[in-house]
Structure 1
Amino acid sequence: MRRNERGSVTLWAVIITTAVLMIVGLVVDGGSQLRATQRADQVAREAARAAGQAISGDPILGRPGLVDVSRGRQAAAAYLSAAGVAGDVHVEGTTITVDTRVSWSPVILSAIGVGSVTVTGSAQAETKQVYQGAPR
């Protein structure tokens, strides 16, 4: 081996190892962020469903079910709280919208300075009628 080639293998090993670690970091942390986004969406869907099911009346006996907006908001907020997820509930007409926020922190990419990120989810539930007053 010639003297001017000393250490060239070490340099290549460092470059290749760094590249492989970055790729592994992207795969692992990218998958983790995707799961956090899916969780935000799933919790939003379930909270919207809970709000939509907060009905008064008796639809099983043929009477129309009317969504009680305040009970719907409370049901969605209770679901969000139980899931440990921050979110907002909006009722506009017959549409219930739930927006969620989940904090995600990378494991591997944090070594190169990638910090926490807030991922969001959103879902809507559509109801037939809206009851704005106090429950019957």
Structure 2
Amino acid sequence: MSSDALRNVWLFTGLDDSQLDALSAFTFNKSFKPGELVVEEGHTGNGLYVVVSGNVEVIKGLESDRPQVLNNLGAGDVFGEMALLGEWPRTATVRAVDDVECLGIDRWVFLAQLERPTPSRHQDAPHPGPEAERRASAINRDLPRPASPITDTI
């Protein structure tokens, strides 16, 4: 089931069946009740989620006096994928609308698996594909930059 859920994730479109099976070996299942927050805006993300069943809503400014629902996601939809690639704050809150089952991939487990040496390292290494590279480049380009250089004084 988990490799089937991962097959449609844009980040993994470059993976073949054996790579998807290997990736699915270190996924986890997580359930959420209606109204429960799956991820919170502003918190540092630690991985991605694939909605297996149920529905979630993506909300910007939940803690403000004018929250805005940006999107509704259901089975097969993915969110939080950029947290798999880096330590960025979540750009929105995701809240369960009804009973939700998700498949998750933790960034640290994912990165550890990528770094694990194998005899055919280059042949078996998952490659995220051109769409992942395009999205990561666009996000990096749009990230706010500090007004002045940051100097480490430690």
TM-score range, shorter chain: under 0.3
Q: Which one has the largest radius of gyration?
A: 1
Q: Which has the higher helix share?
A: 1
| Normalised TM-score (structure 2) | 0.21
| Normalised TM-score (structure 1) | 0.22
